Structure 1
Amino acid sequence: MFGGGRAPILVLSQNTKRDSGKKVQVENINAGKQIADVVRTCLGPQAMLKMLMDPMGGIVMTNDGNAILREITVQHPAAKSMIEIARTQDEEVGDGTTSVIVLAGEMLAAAEQFLAQNMHPTVIIRHYKQALEEIVTLIEGPLSIPIDRNDKAAIANVVKGCVGTKFISRWEDLAVNIALEAVNTVLLEENGRTEIDIKRYAKVEKIPGGSIDESTILKGVMLNKDVTHPKMRRHIKNPRIILLDCPLEYKKGESQTNVEITAESDFTKLLELEEEHVRRQCEEIIALKPDIVFTEKGVSDLAQHFLLKANITAIRRVRKSDNNRIARACGATVVNRTEELQESDVGTGAGLFEIKKLGDEYFCFVTECKEPKACTILLRGASKDILNEIERNLQDALQVARNIVLSPRLVPGGGAIEMAVAQRLIQKATHGPYRALAHALEIIPKTIAQNCGANTIRTLTALRAKHANHTDVNSPCTWGIDGESGELVEQTKNNLWEPLSVKLQTYKTAVETAILLLRIDDIVSGSKKKGDGQPTPSQMAQQQE
């Protein structure tokens, strides 16, 4: 499956000739099952890692379903749509990428027996849709419990459940604290609307070296930049910050500009004009008495000279995203032209500016902000591969913390919610496909048990019995599987809960993908090979003549 030095290729059979509907559906089901088998061992606390090599010889070591499938190359179109759902799940809720693939594969497999009995796919689809509606009603209602979003300990427990299945689980307290602090920092409430933009305002900086314990979250921003002039100040308390989106250098003419110089004085005049332009820009900045100037463009030597004389530190070629983060952290406004600078544009919310050397490189820190609405997560670790995996794990933890704050409802983890939903569906089941989908949900507890080496049949039978004996219809049965030991545990005592939004997205995506693939009754190739004996349109026209 994996070729040395090339992208891992998962070759699945593909029949692009016109084919009978049933054969194509069986093929699609097999493709889905094969994709699910690839990531099945990556579920639960005892999850194994996959090592993937990309075409450039780089290595990815991860148990994140989305990261694995992103690196795999597949030929079969149905398998490609399976990979797409992992990406959707990751973008939407950030967690549950492995679960959604395993569930979708199992739901497709559950439909196979009915196709073999010549049941029409639309009948199977109808029952799957009914079951999905019932699942959504159940987990939004009696099978989930509300949580107070201000209860830090309860939210920390949920994030711990997410981190527990990852590589970072050994440092779970550190990861949970970082995730919760980052989400609380970037949380912005405006006009009764809550916005938590992790992608833009919680930046992760990875610096190889040191140990993972040294990872921390900064109340402010950190950039991989040094001052433009060696004599500029590198440590400033309570700095006044100006952010620019314009170059502090002379304007160069466009590509079509021609300048004709006839005398030496003309050339001197040109240089004077350039110098005057830069001098004017610097004077407009100096008038506001800032301590630091960040600009997204360049700073000429002349501008550096003027700013240095005024005891102002300049940092150039800052990324737009970093500039926006500094603006949020210290309360400054990014200005496009120096003429438009006002006192209100100056940021005074930062407590400290300093340049530090970490490893071989210099980094600029704007920290100790009074009300930072942006933060930087500083990760340390032994190697780049470890840091990349920790970042992937941390992104999942951040998304889970964000989901709980936005939608504060929880469901029991460790396969308990799947078993509870399956039990309720089986009681209502009147048709085969409906019951088959209910049994397909049991693949999650079954896989968790398999991955930690427990006796699957015995464990599942005992778990079914626990759920069958649960009589309270208004509360979820919280018996699930302990992913470490494989024993049955009550999740209320074990404190393993998952956000409702993640589970809801998982079920919806898995069922809808299964429905979509069952609806396909033909795969036709859009391109024809040269010389396959088919006449071209021009040849057909000539034959008709």
Structure 2
Amino acid sequence: MIGGGSAPILVLSQNTKRESGRKVQTGNIAAGKAIADVIRTCLGPRSMLKMLMDPMGGIVMTNDGNAILREIMVQHPAAKTMLEVARTQDEEVGDGTTSVIILGGEMLSVALPFLQQQQMHPTVIISAYRQALEDLVVILKDKISISVDVNNRVEMMKIVKSCVGTKFISKWSELACKIALDATSTVALEENGRKEIDIKRYAKVEKIPGGAIEDSVVLRGVMVNKDVTHPKMKRTLKNPRIVLLDCSLEYKKGESQTNIEITKEEDFQKILLMEEEYIKKICDEVLQVKPDLVITEKGVSDLAQHFLLKAGVSCIRRVRKTDNNRIARAVGATVVSRTDELKEEDVGLHCGLFEIKKFGDEYFTFLVECKDPKACTILLRGASKDILNEVERNLQDAMNVARNVMVEPLLVPGGGAAEMALSQALSEKAKAITGVQQWPYRAVALALEVIPRTLIQNCGANPIRTLTALRAKHVQTDGTSWGIDGESGKIVDMKDYGVWEPFAVKVQTYKTAIETAILLLRIDDIVSGVKKQGDTTSPAAKAPEEGAPQPGEEP
């Protein structure tokens, strides 16, 4: 038992493994570097793909850092932390997952010499890292970033193109950028002076195998994989009045195993009549507002279908809640959870066309030509499921880039230029720092060079020569926009080359990478109560005490 007094802090049983001190720190650094090495070849336009096979035999081919790390199985706790980092980055800004892992791994590996050779205390390294992070964010905002006009479509296309350029979809980059920009600007909402752009909820990607990628479009409205409930219902409606329900149009059965005992035949007729009257009542409540189309998340009974058909109303049932919310935003309707609460203002009037089309063997409902829809569906076509999945992952990144720029209209030069400029500025600042903290501070500046270096390596160019030339450019010209052309590995001015990245993504990448490195450096003890595989007996059972009965003996 560790700890004094009556409150024990930690109880170590005999089969608890414990590692501490330098061994843990070097182990954590090695784990972080290992994860970074897996992802390293996935950075830049010349990136390689990884083929991942899951236990079910499914195959994923991608160069999206987050998708790769989701599939990897690791045991080491520090490596698991690195995987979490990529997920956080993806949820927060939706891009830069590869960069954050590479940078985090490098921040850890530059700390290794201080721990091993100079026997420096982790706290000293951590405080230098913190200081470097603060300075870095200020320099990036004040000296390197430029503001951008969100309404200038040509500029926005360039920005999204720089994100798409490193992906599988780069061959169709014009189309991808157009789709990403249209979808993001469609779902943008301004409330109280703040922009709210919820891509996850309101810009849904629907994949239909078949056709060419060039056939992909952003629909001004919503598409769902559904057909009308009754074959005689209308499959095309112009300017329909749409009612959205969150309740079923069928007779409510009694809760929890209700038993009804019937003695006379007339009673049975009565019960059937009650059901019929109830369904007629709720159908009449719906028909009061004169809808042309009823969409519900629950079921619709045959009788209700009959009443709706008689009134000339089309009906779609069992629509997902998320799809229903999207339809509500697109057509300007309100989802109602009780039929007796239906009012005229709940009816959606903004939809220009309702039609049902058949692709392959399946029917799809289109609610399109909406007036100012605040939700949309991106319809992707392509040769196979694998290609469509990869295109979807790439599009999500592109939409996130567009969203980040719309929310915070600041840009920084891409192609490793921002990292190189920061590295240069931090190296200069390090000269003014007195004491031992100067070295870890300088190490952060050195670690930032990993991004341009990796870009050069992935092109197959000479990293040492190119990086030295790039460093010289930043020192001599005092410019912040010199970076690496990811296609050829040559040094180019990003202002002319036109590769820009959102400020929000860059800042989040640096913050997450450095803070993860700090977190892992602060660990000096790993206590695991998990037994090793194959070790079925505890250490106490392995060595019987003297005088204790041997197996098979009578006690």
TM-score normalised according to structure 2 size: 0.92
Residue 264 (structure 1) aligns with: 265
Secondary structure in structure 1 of the residue aligned to 2:419:
helix
Give the C-alpha shift of residue 530 in structure 1.
5.2
Residue 163 (structure 2) aligns with: 162
Runs of 4+ in 1 over 3 A off after TM superposition: 527-530
Q: Is the CA contact (8 Å cut-off) linking 2:205 and 2:380 kept in structure 1? A: yes
**CA–CA distance in structure 2, aligned partners of residues 184 and 485 of structure 1:** 33
Residue 197 (structure 1) aligns with: 198
Secondary structure in structure 1 of the residue aligned to 2:474:
helix
**CA–CA distance in structure 2, aligned partners of residues 123 and 389 of structure 1:** 44
Alignment of 1:520 with 2:523, yes or no, is yes
Structure 2 unpaired stretches of 5+:
1-14, 546-555
Residue 364 (structure 1) aligns with: 365
**CA–CA distance in structure 1, aligned partners of residues 77 and 463 of structure 2:** 33
Q: Deviations over 1:348-404 (max 9, x none)?
A: 100000000012210000000011000000001111111111000000000000000
Structure 2: which amino acid aligns with 1:513?
T
Structure 1: which amino acid aligns with 2:123?
T
Residue 17 (structure 1) aligns with: 17
Give the C-alpha shift of residue 191 in structure 1.
2.0
Alignment of 1:179 with 2:185, yes or no, is no
Q: Deviations over 1:471-520 (max 9, x none)?
A: 3xxxx510000000110100000010000000000000000000111111
Give the C-alpha shift of residue 534 in structure 1.
4.3
**CA–CA distance in structure 2, aligned partners of residues 133 and 200 of structure 1:** 34
Distance 1:78 1:296, change over 3 A: same
**CA–CA distance in structure 1, aligned partners of residues 40 and 523 of structure 2:** 25
Residue 394 (structure 1) aligns with: 395
Distance 1:161 1:370, change over 3 A: same
Structure 1: which amino acid aligns with 2:78?
A
Q: Deviations over 1:431-480 (max 9, x none)?
A: 11111111000000000000011111110010000001133xxxx51000
**CA–CA distance in structure 1, aligned partners of residues 460 and 172 of structure 2:** 24
Alignment of 1:481 with 2:484, yes or no, is yes
Secondary structure in structure 2 of the residue aligned to 1:74:
coil
**CA–CA distance in structure 2, aligned partners of residues 129 and 496 of structure 1:** 29
Q: Is the CA contact (8 Å cut-off) linking 1:16 and 1:523 kept in structure 2? A: no
Residue 7 (structure 1) aligns with: none
Residue 533 (structure 1) aligns with: 539
Give the C-alpha shift of residue 193 in structure 1.
2.1
Residue 150 (structure 1) aligns with: 151
**CA–CA distance in structure 2, aligned partners of residues 290 and 100 of structure 1:** 51
**CA–CA distance in structure 2, aligned partners of residues 384 and 525 of structure 1:** 42
Residue 98 (structure 2) aligns with: 98
Secondary structure in structure 2 of the residue aligned to 1:69:
helix
Residue 277 (structure 1) aligns with: 278
Structure 2: which amino acid aligns with 1:364?
T
Residue 303 (structure 1) aligns with: 304
Q: Is the CA contact (8 Å cut-off) linking 2:17 and 2:529 kept in structure 1? A: no
Residue 131 (structure 2) aligns with: 130
Residue 61 (structure 2) aligns with: 61
**CA–CA distance in structure 2, aligned partners of residues 379 and 178 of structure 1:** 10
Alignment of 1:109 with 2:109, yes or no, is yes
Q: Is the CA contact (8 Å cut-off) linking 2:20 and 2:526 kept in structure 1? A: no
Structure 1: which amino acid aligns with 2:461?
A
RMSD over aligned Cα atoms: 1.4
Q: Is the CA contact (8 Å cut-off) linking 2:481 and 2:493 kept in structure 1? A: yes
**CA–CA distance in structure 2, aligned partners of residues 194 and 495 of structure 1:** 26
Residue 44 (structure 2) aligns with: 44
Secondary structure in structure 2 of the residue aligned to 1:485:
coil
Residue 505 (structure 2) aligns with: 502
Structure 2: which amino acid aligns with 1:198?
I
1:458 to 465, 474, 487: 465
Secondary structure in structure 2 of the residue aligned to 1:103:
helix
Alignment of 1:438 with 2:441, yes or no, is no
TM-score normalised according to structure 1 size: 0.93
**CA–CA distance in structure 2, aligned partners of residues 16 and 496 of structure 1:** 52
Secondary structure in structure 2 of the residue aligned to 1:349:
coil
Structure 1: which amino acid aligns with 2:280?
R
**CA–CA distance in structure 2, aligned partners of residues 458 and 192 of structure 1:** 49
Moved more, 139-148 or 363-372: 139-148
**CA–CA distance in structure 2, aligned partners of residues 328 and 428 of structure 1:** 51
Q: Deviations over 1:405-444 (max 9, x none)?
A: 0000000000000000000011111411111111000000
Structure 2: which amino acid aligns with 1:182?
A
Residue 35 (structure 1) aligns with: 35
Residue 329 (structure 1) aligns with: 330
Q: Is the CA contact (8 Å cut-off) linking 1:180 and 1:398 kept in structure 2? A: yes
**CA–CA distance in structure 1, aligned partners of residues 213 and 529 of structure 2:** 50
Q: Is the CA contact (8 Å cut-off) linking 1:238 and 1:350 kept in structure 2? A: yes
Structure 2: which amino acid aligns with 1:39?
I
Structure 1 unpaired stretches of 5+:
1-14, 540-545
Structure 1: which amino acid aligns with 2:284?
E
Structure 1: which amino acid aligns with 2:242?
I
Q: Is the CA contact (8 Å cut-off) linking 1:414 and 1:496 kept in structure 2? A: yes
Structure 1: which amino acid aligns with 2:538?
D
**CA–CA distance in structure 2, aligned partners of residues 484 and 16 of structure 1:** 51
Residue 468 (structure 1) aligns with: 475
Q: When the two structures are aligned, how many residues end up with a matched partner?
A: 518
**CA–CA distance in structure 1, aligned partners of residues 79 and 64 of structure 2:** 18
Secondary structure in structure 1 of the residue aligned to 2:253:
coil
**CA–CA distance in structure 2, aligned partners of residues 367 and 197 of structure 1:** 20
**CA–CA distance in structure 2, aligned partners of residues 409 and 186 of structure 1:** 21
**CA–CA distance in structure 1, aligned partners of residues 448 and 280 of structure 2:** 70
Give the C-alpha shift of residue 327 in structure 1.
0.6
**CA–CA distance in structure 1, aligned partners of residues 516 and 16 of structure 2:** 21
